[in-house]
Chain A
Amino acid sequence: MLNKFFNTMNRLIFSSMVLVLTSPLGAFAADQAATGGGDKPWWFWPSILFVFCFVLGVLAVMAGVGGAVLYVPLVSGFFPFHIDFVRGVGLMVALAGALAAGPGLLRRNLANLRLALPVALIASAFSVVGAVIGLRLSALDPNIIQACLGATIVGIAALLIFSKNSEKPVVTKQDAIGMALGLNGLYWDEGARESVEWKTHRTLLGLFMFILIGLLAGMFGLGAGWANVPVLNLMMGVPLKVSVATSKFLLSITDTSAAWIYMNQGCVIPLIGIPSIVGLMLGSLLGVKLLAVAKPKMIRYLVILMLLFSGLKALDKGLGLGLLG
């Protein structure tokens, strides 16, 4: 009976995604967003946003992406809010999700504090720079940010399609910086029922990459799990499970610094922020439960499609082409 319920939920989620992307309701929302949606009662958009974020939370967990990477392009495309507010709230959404996941990951020794600390310092310092640049560019012309965001989202979709993570990368020799920072460890792999030792290589290159990641996270309010994992896993040779867990934990630090910049600038409006944060967190809780019976691969492909569509829409809007409405 439980399986039947989850199968029904699976179908419902799938249908709702297709509905959001293709139905007249989606077109209506986009149209309303384009006209500002000012003729609606004040509770209309926050209520829609709460439901929308709840569904996003479910999908994000099942697709293995952060909520903010879906939130920013989709909400800026389909809701009447200015991109300044969407980016500010997007960071708060990413921050809340990362902080909520952090304790479990740290206690199970999957997220590694020693690995996270130096990386977080670089990423958070540069996310401050990214946030300042993003706000300046947005004040100059919001279309610049919209177009850059679109290009970044399309790039993220491509990264999700083409990057092949490595479960347990082979690191034959640890480099000097990794050794000096003590970037190594031991974790328990529940699936394989074995303890796995790991150490890093190409540490300096990896640390440099976090400059770029921090800049992008701050500039677009995206969170950066999509970039953290490939760098930790493929470049630095950290096992996939430790990379994913440490990346999630890292977001709680990286996004904190950028979130402060947006919050101090007044970009976090409670009427938009709280339904987004609570909706996404509740959705994530349901997503974790559904993960056991869902078909994450199909959902992942759908999320990539959604990312591609929203990225192209943002690009179209930013460049003023008007091809996608």
Chain B
Amino acid sequence: MDEREKLARRASKEQIIYANILVVGVWSSIAIMGITYFLYLSNIMPPYVDLHTITTLWGKGVKEYLELTHSPHGWGWVYFLNKGDFLNYIGFVLLAVMTIICYLVLVKGYLAKKDWLYTGIAVLEIVVLSLAASGLFGSGGH
């Protein structure tokens, strides 16, 4: 393998760190989903909304569904982690939070390299994702 090939194959340090974090996060969240789904369907942890009720309401819009089942929205599910259905949100949230975690690592790397432009871009992305996660947007729909 010549020098140019080595260079072409070599991913940057940030890319490798990003990839390593993703591997752990993604497969952990999939494993968590498997476990929580089993606890949910086997009724070891009874759900907040009965399984039969869901099948009669999943054809309705989300607003109506939440009203009829008295389900929480936003981060309200956190208070119902003892319920089988809401327990599944742990896997979903871990999946959705991975990018934010990876970006925090990127910011550190870009800061160390004094790459101000990409530090700014990464920080802005964290802001966008955090605002989306906060539940501030779209709450008027309820």
Decide whether A and B assemble into one complex. yes
* Contact, CB under 8 Å: A186 / B19: no
For chain B, the bracket of interface size reads 35 or more
Say yes or no: is A273 at the interface (Cβ < 8 Å to chain B). yes
Please measure, in the bound complex, the distance between the C-alpha atom of A272 and the C-alpha atom of B140, giving whole angstroms: 25
Which residues of A come within 8 Å of B, CB atoms? 36-38, 40, 42-43, 45, 80-82, 84-85, 88, 92, 95-96, 99-100, 102-104, 106-109, 111, 113-114, 117-118, 120-121, 124-125, 128, 131-132, 135-136, 138-139, 142, 180-181, 186-188, 195-196, 252-253, 256-261, 263-274, 277-278, 281
Q: A108–B135 Cα gap in the complex (Å)?
A: 36
Assess the A260–B55 pair: CB atoms within 8 A. Answer: no
CB within 8 Å of A: which of B1-28? 4-5, 7-12, 14-16, 18-20, 22-23, 25-26
Partner pick for B95 among A92, A128, A186, A278, CB 8 A cutoff:
A92
Which B66-117 residues have a C-beta within 8 angstroms of A? 66, 71-75, 85, 88-89, 91-93, 95-96, 98-100, 106, 117
Distance of A109 Cα from B34 Cα, bound (Å): 31
Nearest CB of chain A from residue B117's CB, rounded to whole Å: 7
A-B contacts, 30 of them at CB < 8 A, read A38-B59, A42-B54, A84-B62, A85-B62, A96-B95, A99-B22, A99-B26, A100-B26, A102-B22, A103-B20, A103-B22, A109-B10, A113-B12, A113-B14, A118-B121, A125-B128, A132-B138, A135-B141, A138-B61, A139-B141, A252-B98, A259-B96, A261-B137, A264-B133, A267-B62, A268-B89, A269-B54, A270-B40, A274-B88, A277-B33
**Max chain A C-beta neighbours (<10 A), residue from B15, B74, B125, B133:** B15
Query: Is B34's CB under 8 angstroms from A257's CB?
Result: no
Contact call B141/A256, Cβ cutoff below 8 A: no
Q: Nearest chain B CB to A105's CB is how many angstroms away? A: 8
Q: Which residue among B11, B40, B65, B72 has the maximum number of chain A CB atoms within 10 Å of its CB? A: B11
CA of A157 to CA of B33, assembled, Å: 33
> Of the candidates A135, A138, A186, A281, which one forms a contact with B8 in the assembled complex, judged by CB atoms under 8 Å apart?
A186
Q: Are B92 and A263 neighbours in the complex by a CB distance under 8 Å? A: yes
**A85 to B57 CA separation, bound complex (whole angstroms):** 11
Measured CB to CB, the nearest residue on chain A to B138 is A132
Tell me the complex Cα distance, A13–B90, Å: 34
List A contacts of B140 (CB < 8 A). 136
Given contacts A81-B58, A99-B22, A102-B22, A260 and B121 within 8 Å (CB-CB): no
A278 touches B34 (CB 8 A): yes
- Are A107's CB and B16's CB within 8 A? yes
B55 in contact with A109 (CB, 8 Å): no
A243 to chain B, nearest CB (A): 17
Q: How far is the CB of B37 from chain A (nearest CB, A)?
A: 5
Q: Which residues of A contact B138 (CB under 8 A)?
A: 131-132, 135-136, 261, 264-265
Cβ-neighbour of A82 out of B14, B16, B19, B65 (below 8 A): B65
Q: A187-B8, A265-B141 are in contact. Are A109 and B15 (CB under 8 A)?
A: yes
Contact B59 A121 (CB under 8 A): no
A106-B58 in contact given A124-B125, A187-B8, A278-B34 (Cβ < 8 Å): no
Q: Which residues of B contact A263 (CB under 8 A)?
A: 89, 92-93, 96
Indicate if the CB atoms of A257 and B129 lie closer than 8 Å: yes
Known A-B contacts A96-B30, A264-B75; the reply to A195 vs B7 at CB < 8 A is: yes
Q: Mark B21-48, 1 if CB is under 8 A from A, else 0.
A: 0110110001001101100110000000
Return the contact of A37 from the options B7, B55, B96 (Cβ within 8 A).
B55
- Residues of chain B contacted by A138 (CB below 8 angstroms): 61-62
B4 lies within 8 A of A99 (CB): no
Q: Min CB distance, A36 to chain B, in Å?
A: 5
Min CB–CB distance A48 → chain B (angstroms) = 12
Contact of B33 among A100, A252, A278 (CB under 8 A): A278
Q: Judge whether A95 and B95 touch: CB under 8 Å.
A: yes
CB B118 to nearest CB in A, in angstroms, measures 6
Selected contact of A106 from candidates B18, B36, B52, B135, CB within 8 Å: B18
Q: A42-B54, A266-B66 are in contact. Are A256 and B129 (CB under 8 A)?
A: yes
